[in-house]
Amino acid sequence: MTIGTKLAWDDTVLPFQLDASDIRGRVARLDGVLGGILEQHDYPPQVEALVAEMALLTALIGQTIKLRWKLSLQVQSKGAVRMIATDYYAPEVAGEPARIRAYASYDADRLTEAAPFAQVGEGYFAIMIDQGKGTTPYQGITPLTGESLSACAEAYFAQSEQLPTRFSLSFGKSSEPGVAEHWRAGGIMLQHMPKASPFVAQDGGSGDVLSAADLVDGAEGENWGRVNILLDTVEDLELIGPVVPPTDLLVRLFHEEQPRVFDAQAIRFGCTCSEERVRQSLSIYSAQDIEKMTTEDGVVTADCQFCSAHYELDPTTVGFEARDADGA
């Protein structure tokens, strides 16, 4: 049984702008990326769905960051799913694919048959941007709210960055005759283009957490409302594909808003773990500490939470009192 035919728009994010409404956005389609992420783990269905949604949000949001930057999304909760973490690595060079990785930690005995987001309890949603060495990473945090991770992301942009933002997502396992069951996801992100710095605090709002409706009024509010009504007409199969290309979807939804597309960004699953990074993480420990970490087989082991890579190291070659790998 085949995995499926690779489509030209699979694992891409297409940025666009609605010139008649002063609104920008992205259309994402994920296929092999989700397979690469989820096949590293044996998650229950509810956890798989949450990781798929988080990866799709990461792809849509991450496309905006600059070359060589890193974007991280994280959910911390008191629910059965304690953490969901994703990383988006922007390309080193324009034209190269971006990379995404993701993982979740959870208490299996606390999972229920309820909807995926019901497995997430009280907690927070965070976005972090790392611009590289010599810079201070940016971090914004908002409480978990709404009935989905996408609602939490919308609340984050309204509260932390004062940017009206809307997501429409669809994701799940695709089953076709003669094709192995596999995950697919698709979504659209809309964002009102800012008139000033997005990091200026504002007072008031509809409640404890700001919403997009609190941030626009007048003509801007009319434009935002009209485009959101158009987005409400999108169907799940249009978001996921494989029949409707992203460019055709934009014309279907927003032809009167004068959609203008830009170059698509390719995305791949990718992890940055390596033996060198493991050694760096262990460099803060003394020989005595390393001895406590050594197994009965005489090795220090480490597993990557993102890609499940397993490392076994000679304990004499790690830690700040270590000999080098050649025994010097």
Specify the CATH number for the domain of residue 301: 3.90.1280.10
Mean pLDDT over 215-241 rounds to 88
Could you tell me if 283 and 225 lie in one domain?
A: no
Last residue of a domain, which of 269, 293, 308?
A: 269
Between 308 and 28, where is the model more confident? 28
Asked if residue 4 belongs to a domain, the reply is no
Whether pLDDT at 21 is above 80: yes
- Tell the burial category of 113 from Cβ atoms under 10 Å away from its Cβ (0-12, 13-18, 19+): exposed
Could you tell me if 160 and 17 lie in one domain?
A: yes
Could you tell me if 102 and 228 lie in one domain?
A: yes
Strand positions, DSSP E, the chain: 12-18, 23-30, 70-77, 81-89, 98-106, 123-130, 138-143, 165-176, 179-192, 259-261, 265-269, 300-303, 310-313
Could you tell me if 173 and 305 lie in one domain?
A: no
What are the angstrom distances between the C-alpha of 197 and each of 15, 43, 192, 194? 21, 40, 13, 7
Whether pLDDT at 270 is above 80: yes
What are the angstrom distances between the C-alpha of 13 and each of 51, 85, 189? 18, 20, 10
Could you tell me if 192 and 301 lie in one domain?
A: no
For residue 49, the domain's CATH number is 3.55.30.10
Asked if residue 135 belongs to a domain, the reply is yes
Could you tell me if 298 and 228 lie in one domain?
A: no
Mean pLDDT over 52-76 rounds to 94
**Banded pLDDT at 316 (limits 50, 70, 90):** confident
Instruction: Look up the pTM and report it.
Output: 0.83
Asked if residue 249 belongs to a domain, the reply is yes
The confidence score (pLDDT) of residue 209 equals 56
The domain containing residue 288 runs over which residues? 275-317
Number of domains in the chain: 2
Could you tell me if 249 and 263 lie in one domain?
A: yes
Last residue of a domain, which of 253, 269, 285?
A: 269
Could you tell me if 77 and 165 lie in one domain?
A: yes
Could you tell me if 281 and 166 lie in one domain?
A: no
The confidence score (pLDDT) of residue 219 equals 80
The confidence score (pLDDT) of residue 71 equals 94
Could you tell me if 181 and 235 lie in one domain?
A: yes
The confidence score (pLDDT) of residue 218 equals 75
Could you tell me if 127 and 151 lie in one domain?
A: yes
What DSSP line would sit under 70-93, residue for residue? EEEEEEEESSSEEEEEEEEE--SS
**Banded pLDDT at 176 (limits 50, 70, 90):** low
CB atoms under 10 Å from CB of 65, counted, come to: 17
